[in-house]
Amino acid sequence: MSAEVTTRRESAVERGATALDNLGYRLQRLPLHLVIIIICAIWIVPTVGMVINSFRGLQDMSQSGWWTTLFPPHGFTLESYRQVLAIEGVAPSILYSVLITIPATVIQLTIATMGAYAFAWMRFPGRNLFFIVIVGLMVVPIQMTLIPVLQIFKVLHINGTIMAVWLAHSGYGLPFEVFLLRNYLGGLPREIFESAEVDGAGHSTRFLRIAVPMTIPAIASLTIFVFLGIWNDLLVALTFLGVSAYRPFTVVITGLVTSFGGGWQFLTAAAVLQMALPLAVFIFLQRYFVRGITSGSVKG
């Protein structure tokens, strides 16, 4: 009995020591958690205020802050959304944003994945030189290339079309995407590719059946960046579409407010509409986000 009692006492002492260690660990990390909470609040609170204001009327927004709507009477309304969608050109512009963003994203990621595989696993003359040039293109400001590219598109008679925006976004985004995916692909196990080569698999087979499936996390995380960049773009769309009928939602939003500040109440509803689809894409792909970006940054 005495041995059993002694064992129980020792177990109780160990549990108590473990609990104290856990408590001390949590207290040590408490300042870090507070800092993270404060930073998250700084980012989230303005967004919450914008979303709430999008469901308020003009009179309510003029008389009180958005936080007053959290308490009864709430006074929520969809009038701002109705007015925004009723403005000429807004509804088609959302469709054009989708038609621009999705194909441009697919084009970029397809070319970038193939190019990254070539730089990582194929041997050809000047490979390192070409890769250095591509990496160097990341530091070239987009503004320096707008006019020359615009002139080329005019010669090709594609200026003012959705294809022009596809090609422009692809050219501007590919250097970074090839660089990131090449680092990821270069870190994949060499033995797998060598075994496939011994079995007679060509580069197309190794690319489609080995490289692409193993690179899905990096491709998915990169899809978020590419999609957000194209969806929120204003400069490229405004430059290559101008007054074309295919203007995306970002260009149309800039015309909602007059030069005298009229129509400002539409901006919150328009901003919520603008961020709805990218937010859905991020939620759908967020499980790949950290894993893909972290792996691509350390491998190669």
Give residue-wise pLDDT tens across range 111-161: 999 999 999 888 888 888 998 998 888 888 888 899 999 999 999 989 889
Q: Are residues 273 and 126 part of one domain?
A: yes
Q: Are residues 207 and 171 part of one domain?
A: yes
Of 17-21, 58-62, 243-247, least confident by mean pLDDT is 17-21
Mean pLDDT of 66-88: 81
Q: Are residues 286 and 233 part of one domain?
A: yes
Residue 279's identity, in one-letter code, is L
Kindly report the number of other CB atoms within 10 A of residue 225's CB atom: 16
Residue 291 has pLDDT above 70, yes or no: no
Q: Are residues 164 and 269 part of one domain?
A: yes
Q: Report the C-alpha gap between 277 and 254 in whole angstroms.
A: 19
What pTM does this model have? Answer: 0.78
pLDDT above 90 coverage of the chain, percent = 19
- Domain boundary (70, 95, 112) is at 70
Q: Report the C-alpha gap between 200 and 237 in whole angstroms.
A: 46
82 is a domain residue: no
Q: Are residues 93 and 64 part of one domain?
A: no
pLDDT at 226: 92
The CATH number of the domain where 95 resides is what? 1.10.3720.10
Tell me the three state secondary structure of residue 263: coil
77 is a domain residue: no
54 is a domain residue: yes
Domain limits at 24? 2-70
Q: Are residues 188 and 234 part of one domain?
A: yes
| pLDDT interval class at 89 (50, 70, 90) | confident
Host H or E run for residue 96: helix 90-121
- Encoding tokens for residue 22? 């856990």
Residue 247 has pLDDT above 60, yes or no: yes
Inter-residue contact 185 to 121 (CB < 8 Å): yes
Count how many domains the chain has: 2
Could you say which DSSP state residue 254 is in?
T
Q: Report the C-alpha gap between 83 and 266 in whole angstroms.
A: 8
210 is a domain residue: yes
Of 63-67, 178-182, 184-188, least confident by mean pLDDT is 63-67
Q: Angle formed by the axes of helices 146-155 and 162-186, to 10°?
A: 120
Look at 46 and 64; give whichever has higher pLDDT: 46
Mean pLDDT of 198-216: 87
pLDDT at 299: 44
Q: Are residues 28 and 130 part of one domain?
A: no
Q: Are residues 118 and 62 part of one domain?
A: no
* CA distances (Å), origin 98, targets 138, 162, 235, 272: 26, 11, 17, 16
Q: Report the C-alpha gap between 193 and 203 in whole angstroms.
A: 9
Q: Are residues 201 and 127 part of one domain?
A: yes
